[in-house]
Each structure stands twice: as structure tokens, then as C-alpha cells.
């Protein structure tokens, strides 16, 4: 490789850093959504690179549903402390007080209340005019249509048929009072890129991504994690069994499936991702209902 050529990962890195710096240049009060997953970990790592040697010029915001894995909370608190970032945690307390859960209320309603409404409330409360999210275009077909700077109206909603054209690497950050923008610096990354970059940069990730024997519930083709404090979310007749498995994506415990795997280190995960025949979103219950990702995005979901 000649001296002046960048690998594709380094090109993606340069593009993401460019996007983050434009946001800080164009907006008054940005925030970075941090979901503790692998994409968030990569996004946060890129942000540290973008503003080095200064501290991050924006806080991290975790919209917590209360249903995240204990390992995620543990990782979140330790890592944020280690890198000295400012973390804001917000929950939709109203819905949680009313006992919102996917089993009784349905997955769509639960996500709508705990994630979408929780996010919209947190963004409004913080007065943020720009929010970084780690979504990638390769994840899902409506996300393939998403802009890097995605304008949201004052209700936080997406109008996919009327998106602002995005040309060259020039981003138009002008918005009206009350509007905001969701920014996706990882738009052009694929799942494979994320894993290869985690390996290349040695980025810490939640241990749930690595294979281990875990107590699981087999529900149809899905492997759902078993946690004692969530026994009321089990369906009739379900019993936990130990399964060697790992998580390709991390969401809420009752709604995130695992995959059978023996990949216990990053090299094995990269190899597994390269050979995968099915997309990572397959293990997310939220993607499988009649209420599609496009519908949820229109309502304000990431």
C-alpha cells in the first residue's frame, strides 16, 4: 500500500470525524446518544478522536428503558468514568411507573413509550438541537434512505418523502426554531466494518458480545436471555437452559435474542460476521411486527 492511500476503515473514520466536527461547528447544543452497544462504542471512540486532545464538546445521553442487561449498566458506568465523559441518563418515569412491559402492552407500545417517547422527552428537556445516533444504513431498508443530517420537525418526527438533499461532504445545519437534527456519523459503516474497526482499534465492548454458556429461553427460532428478576416476562411453559451463545446486537433483555456461537474473542467474531448469512437485526423483536422501522422512525425513533 503506497504512502498516500487510506484503507477503507480509515476513510470511514475520516468521514465520521468530519461529520462530528461539522455538527459542533453548526449547532448550539449537540448531544450524543449512547446506547452502550457496539455501534455506540465505535461512535464514542470516533468522537474522542475527533476532538482530541480536548474533552468531548457534548454530553452523552443514555435513554434507559430499565430493561437493559445488568452487564450493560456495569460497562456503561465504568467506561464513561474511564474516559471522563459526561453522561446523562433519562427514563420515561411515567410509563415505568405504570408498569410498561412488552409482554402485557406489546412490543410496539413498550418501545414507543420507553424508547421513542423517552428519547423525545429527554431531547426536549435538554434543549438539544442536534443528536448523534449510531444507526447505520445497512441495518434496515428504511435506514438505507436516511440522510447523515436528518431534520426532525418540532415533534421530533421524520418525513422520509421530503428529505434535504445532501451533496459532496457539505452539510446544511440550518434549522428553524423548534426543529432539530439527528446526525448519523456511522451511516456508511456496515456491521462488518464495525467489528473490524473494534478489532483494529481495540475498542472495549460489553462482554455479552462474546460467546459464553448462558441461561436462555428458546422461543420459536429465537434465543431469549433468562434473568431471574424478569421471570414475569416468560411465556407459559418456558424453561431456561444453558446455551453457548452471544449477542450480535444489544437492546432490552426481554426483546433481544442471542445467536448460538463459539466466538469468544474479537477475531472469532469478525470471522463469524464475515460468514453470517442472516442480518443482525434478525435477533431484534422490534423489527418483526406490522409496525415497521419506517413507521417507528416517522414517530421519532432512531
Partner 1 sequence: MNVDWKLSQEIQLLRLVTVWSVDDGKSTLIGRLLVDTKGAFEDQLLSVTTKRDAASEAEIDLAMLTDGLSAEREQGITIDVAYRYFATPKRKFIMADCPGHEQYTRNMVTGASTANAAIILIDARNGVMAQTKRHTHILSLLQIPHLIVAINKMDLVDFDEQKFNDIRDELTAFCAKQGVKDLITVPMSALKGDMVTKRGERMSWYSGPTLLEVLESLEVLGRVDEKPFRFPVQLVNRPQTKELPDYRGFMGSIASGTVKVGDKVTALASGQSSTVKEIVTFDGSPDEAFSPQSVTLVLADEIDISRGDMLVRSDELPNSEREISANICWIGDEPLVARKKYVIKQTSNAIRAMVAAIEFKTDIHTLAHVEGDELAMNEIGRIRLKLQQPLFYDTYENNRLTGSFIVIDTFSNNTVGAGMIV
Kindly indicate which of the ranges 28-36, 90-98, 138-146, 237-245 contains the residues binding partner 1, using the contact rule CB under 8 A. 138-146
Greatest Cα pair distance, the chain, in angstroms, is 62
Element (H, E) at 104: helix 102-105
Smallest gap from Cβ 230 to partner 1, in A, equals: 26
Distance in angstroms (rounded) separating the CA atoms of residues 154 and 295: 17
Among 28, 82, 174, 239, binds partner 1 (CB under 8 A): 174
Residue closer to partner 1 by CB (options 96, 276) is 276
Cell numbers 456503561: residue? 76
Kindly indicate which of the ranges 36-44, 64-72, 211-219, 265-273 contains the residues binding partner 1, using the contact rule CB under 8 A. 265-273
∠ at Cα 259 (78, 101), nearest 5°? 65
Smallest gap from Cβ 17 to partner 1, in A, equals: 4
Among 83, 96, 105, 188, binds partner 1 (CB under 8 A): 188
For helices 191-201 and 8-26, give the axis angle rounded to 10 degrees.
90
Binding to partner 1 by residue 39, rule CB under 8 A?
A: no
Binding to partner 1 by residue 7, rule CB under 8 A?
A: yes
Kindly indicate which of the ranges 59-67, 91-99, 139-147, 227-235 contains the residues binding partner 1, using the contact rule CB under 8 A. 139-147
Smallest gap from Cβ 2 to partner 1, in A, equals: 9
Cα 285 versus chain centre, distance: 15
Distance in angstroms (rounded) separating the CA atoms of residues 135 and 49: 19
Considering only residues 200 to 229 of the shown chain, the ones binding partner 1 according to CB under 8 A are 200
Dihedral sign from CA coordinates of 113, 251, 119, 126: positive
Distance in angstroms (rounded) separating the CA atoms of residues 161 and 35: 28
Binding to partner 1 by residue 190, rule CB under 8 A?
A: yes
Residue closer to partner 1 by CB (options 72, 183) is 183
Alpha-carbon distances of 54 from 13, 49, 78, 230, 297, rounded to whole Å = 18, 10, 21, 42, 33
Binding residues with partner 1: total (CB under 8 A): 69
3-state secondary structure of 4: coil
Binding to partner 1 by residue 137, rule CB under 8 A?
A: yes
Residue closer to partner 1 by CB (options 94, 271) is 271
Smallest gap from Cβ 193 to partner 1, in A, equals: 8
Alpha-carbon distances of 197 from 23, 56, 80, 290, rounded to whole Å = 23, 21, 20, 34
Binding to partner 1 by residue 98, rule CB under 8 A?
A: no
Among 160, 204, 215, 289, binds partner 1 (CB under 8 A): 160
Among 76, 132, 185, 187, binds partner 1 (CB under 8 A): 187
Secondary structure (DSSP) of 163-216: PPP-BTTB------TT-EEEE-TTTT--HHHHHHHHHHHT----GGGS-EEEEE
Residue closer to partner 1 by CB (options 13, 64) is 13
Dihedral sign from CA coordinates of 276, 278, 284, 285: negative
Binding to partner 1 by residue 157, rule CB under 8 A?
A: no
Chain residues in the site for partner 1 (CB under 8 A): 1, 3-15, 17-18, 21-22, 24-25, 48-55, 137-138, 141-145, 160-161, 163-170, 172, 174-176, 187-188, 190, 192-193, 196, 200, 267, 270-271, 274-279, 281-282, 292, 294
Amino acid at each position: 500500500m503506497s504512502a498516500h492511500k487510506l484503507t477503507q476503515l480509515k476513510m470511514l473514520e475520516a468521514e465520521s470525524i468530519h461529520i462530528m466536527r461539522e455538527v459542533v461547528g453548526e449547532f448550539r447544543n449537540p448531544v450524543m446518544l449512547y446506547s452502550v452497544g457496539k455501534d455506540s462504542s465505535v461512535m464514542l471512540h470516533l468522537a474522542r478522536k475527533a476532538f482530541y486532545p480536548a474533552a468531548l464538546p457534548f454530553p452523552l445521553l443514555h435513554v434507559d428503558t430499565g430493561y437493559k442487561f445488568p452487564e450493560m449498566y456495569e460497562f456503561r458506568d465504568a467506561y464513561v468514568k474511564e474516559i471522563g465523559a459526561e453522561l446523562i441518563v433519562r427514563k420515561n418515569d411515567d410509563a415505568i411507573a405504570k408498569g410498561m412491559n412488552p409482554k402485557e402492552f406489546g412490543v410496539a407500545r413498550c418501545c414507543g413509550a420507553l424508547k421513542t417517547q423517552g428519547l423525545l422527552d429527554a431531547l426536549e428537556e435538554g434543549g438539544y438541537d442536534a443528536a448523534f445516533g449510531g444507526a447505520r444504513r445497512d441495518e434496515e431498508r428504511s435506514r438505507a434512505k436516511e440522510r447523515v443530517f436528518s431534520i426532525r420537525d418540532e415533534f421530533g418526527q421524520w418525513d422520509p418523502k421530503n428529505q434535504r438533499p445532501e451533496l459532496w461532504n457539505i452539510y446544511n445545519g440550518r434549522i428553524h426554531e423548534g426543529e432539530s437534527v439527528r446526525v448519523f456519523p456511522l451511516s456508511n459503516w456496515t456491521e462488518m466494518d464495525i467489528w473490524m474497526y473494534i478489532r483494529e482499534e481495540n475498542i472495549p465492548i460489553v462482554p455479552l458480545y462474546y460467546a459464553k454458556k448462558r441461561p436462555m429461553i428458546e422461543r420459536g427460532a429465537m434465543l431469549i436471555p433468562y434473568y431471574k428478576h424478569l421471570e414475569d416476562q416468560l411465556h407459559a411453559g418456558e424453561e431456561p437452559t444453558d446455551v453457548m451463545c452471544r449477542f450480535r446486537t444489544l437492546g432490552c433483555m426481554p426483546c433481544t435474542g442471542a445467536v448460538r456461537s463459539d466466538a469468544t474473542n474479537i477475531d472469532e467474531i469478525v470471522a463469524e460476521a464475515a460468514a453470517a448469512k442472516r442480518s443482525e437485526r434478525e435477533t431484534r423483536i422490534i423489527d418483526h411486527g406490522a409496525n415497521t422501522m419506517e413507521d417507528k422512525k416517522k414517530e421519532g425513533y432512531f
